[in-house]
Amino acid sequence: MTGRRPSAPPSVNAFPPLLDRLQALATEHGRFDPDRRPEQLADLVAVADRARAVCRDVLAVAEN
Protein backbone atom coordinates (compact mmCIF):
# COMPACT_ATOMS: atom_id res chain seq x y z
CA MET A 1 0.00 0.00 0.00
CA THR A 2 1.31 3.40 -0.93
CA GLY A 3 -1.04 5.30 1.36
CA ARG A 4 -2.61 7.05 -1.60
CA ARG A 5 -6.23 6.75 -2.56
CA PRO A 6 -6.86 5.07 -5.89
CA SER A 7 -7.87 7.31 -8.73
CA ALA A 8 -11.43 7.19 -9.97
CA PRO A 9 -11.97 4.85 -12.91
CA PRO A 10 -12.52 6.59 -16.26
CA SER A 11 -16.09 5.31 -16.34
CA VAL A 12 -16.97 7.63 -13.46
CA ASN A 13 -16.39 10.59 -15.77
CA ALA A 14 -18.17 8.97 -18.71
CA PHE A 15 -21.24 7.80 -16.82
CA PRO A 16 -23.04 11.12 -16.02
CA PRO A 17 -23.34 12.18 -19.68
CA LEU A 18 -24.78 8.75 -20.45
CA LEU A 19 -27.32 9.25 -17.70
CA ASP A 20 -28.22 12.63 -19.21
CA ARG A 21 -28.78 11.00 -22.59
CA LEU A 22 -30.84 8.18 -21.08
CA GLN A 23 -33.00 10.66 -19.20
CA ALA A 24 -33.55 12.76 -22.33
CA LEU A 25 -34.39 9.66 -24.37
CA ALA A 26 -36.86 8.41 -21.75
CA THR A 27 -38.44 11.85 -21.44
CA GLU A 28 -38.94 12.17 -25.18
CA HIS A 29 -39.64 8.59 -26.23
CA GLY A 30 -40.30 6.60 -23.06
CA ARG A 31 -43.34 4.36 -22.94
CA PHE A 32 -45.03 4.94 -19.61
CA ASP A 33 -48.50 4.19 -18.30
CA PRO A 34 -50.41 7.25 -19.52
CA ASP A 35 -52.15 7.62 -16.15
CA ARG A 36 -48.87 7.40 -14.24
CA ARG A 37 -46.35 9.00 -16.61
CA PRO A 38 -45.34 11.88 -14.30
CA GLU A 39 -44.69 9.55 -11.36
CA GLN A 40 -42.89 6.93 -13.43
CA LEU A 41 -40.70 9.50 -15.16
CA ALA A 42 -39.95 11.08 -11.78
CA ASP A 43 -38.83 7.67 -10.51
CA LEU A 44 -36.44 7.32 -13.43
CA VAL A 45 -35.09 10.84 -12.88
CA ALA A 46 -34.60 10.12 -9.17
CA VAL A 47 -32.56 7.01 -9.94
CA ALA A 48 -30.45 8.91 -12.48
CA ASP A 49 -29.92 11.75 -9.99
CA ARG A 50 -28.79 9.26 -7.34
CA ALA A 51 -26.37 7.66 -9.79
CA ARG A 52 -24.96 11.11 -10.62
CA ALA A 53 -24.49 11.76 -6.90
CA VAL A 54 -22.60 8.49 -6.49
CA CYS A 55 -20.30 9.49 -9.36
CA ARG A 56 -19.67 12.87 -7.72
CA ASP A 57 -18.88 11.14 -4.42
CA VAL A 58 -16.43 8.75 -6.07
CA LEU A 59 -14.70 11.65 -7.80
CA ALA A 60 -14.54 13.65 -4.58
CA VAL A 61 -12.93 10.75 -2.70
CA ALA A 62 -10.43 10.19 -5.53
CA GLU A 63 -9.47 13.88 -5.56
CA ASN A 64 -8.77 14.06 -1.81
Of 47, 61, 63, nearest to 15 by C-alpha is 47
pLDDT in tens, 21-52: 999 999 999 999 999 999 999 999 999 999 99
Q: In which band, very low, low, confident or very high, does the pLDDT at 3 lie, cut at 50, 70 and 90?
A: low
Longest dimension (CA), the chain: 56
End-to-end CA distance of the chain: 17
The pLDDT assigned to 6 comes to 61
Check pLDDT > 80 for residue 9: no
- Confidence (pLDDT) at 5: 59
pLDDT (0 to 100) of residue 59: 87
Taking 60 as the threshold, does the pLDDT of residue 1 lie above it? no
